[in-house]
Amino acid sequence: REALARLDAARTDRDFEAELSLALVALAGGKLGPARAHFEAARALRPDSAEVIDGLRQLQQIESSRAIAKQRALAEAAELDERWSDAASHYQAILETQPHLPFAEQGLRRNRELARVTERIAQLLADPAQLLHAANLDEARRLGESARTAASGKPKLGDQIRQLDAAIELASTPISVAFESDAATEVVIRGVGTLGSFARRDLALKPGRYVVIGRRDGYRDTRTEISVVPGARPPVVDVRCTEKI
């Protein structure tokens, strides 16, 4: 029995050395799949082997480095094509493999912000009527400035900024609106001021929505809502109080 045990031990040593040698050769040659298979076979023979543990650690490091390099290449390609959400996803994958890598953290922040900015600009361009609201118009200006700082070498983003600038210009350019009355009704435009009484008056108003109020002693007030829209024919607004109290 002792002789048989010695033979088994010698066979195990021989098999272990062979698997370890094949694993190291495969690892040195960059053949990670075969290297892992041989390391695992060696570990099955000697689970506590320091050589196997160290080899598997080196293998893991190489696999991690390759995965990071692949994701980085995909991220950079997505950025070059201005696919910001895709680039952010690849940088996130890198950080899941190895947290706190500076280039990946910076890339994730940069592309998440560009994705947010460009998506919102696209929403505004798809529905320019949103720019009739002062808050949205201010937001559009801020988005344009934010995007402009990153636009160098990015043709798609540059084109989007030019479209946004044009939409902002339209939404900011006053349009002449004609008001007609009876020279007895006092005309007030909420948020603009009191125009007084007149028969006809032309007033330049920025695109937007306005409430026009007519007041006259002894008569019921009138209230009219108007929209001043770029590219549309300006309204002629008739304001007069005719219903006696």
CA dist 129 and 231 (Å) reads 11
Report pTM. 0.70
8 or 55, greater pLDDT:
55
Burial grade of 82 (CB within 10 A; 0-12, 13-18, 19 or more)? middle
107-108-113 Cα angle (round to 5): 100
37-46 pLDDT tens trace: 988 899 999 9
Does the structure show a pLDDT above 80 at 1? no
Does the structure show a pLDDT above 90 at 10? no
CA dist 21 and 28 (Å) reads 11
Mean predicted confidence (pLDDT) in 182-211: 95
Burial grade of 225 (CB within 10 A; 0-12, 13-18, 19 or more)? exposed
Tell me if 198 sits within 8 A of 181, measured CB to CB: yes
Between strands 236-238 and 208-215, the pairing is: unpaired
Contacts of 133 (CB under 8 A, 6+ apart): 208
CA dist 160 and 229 (Å) reads 22
Read off the pLDDT band of 8 (50, 70, 90): confident
Does the structure show a pLDDT above 90 at 2? no
Q: What is the mean pLDDT of the chain?
A: 93
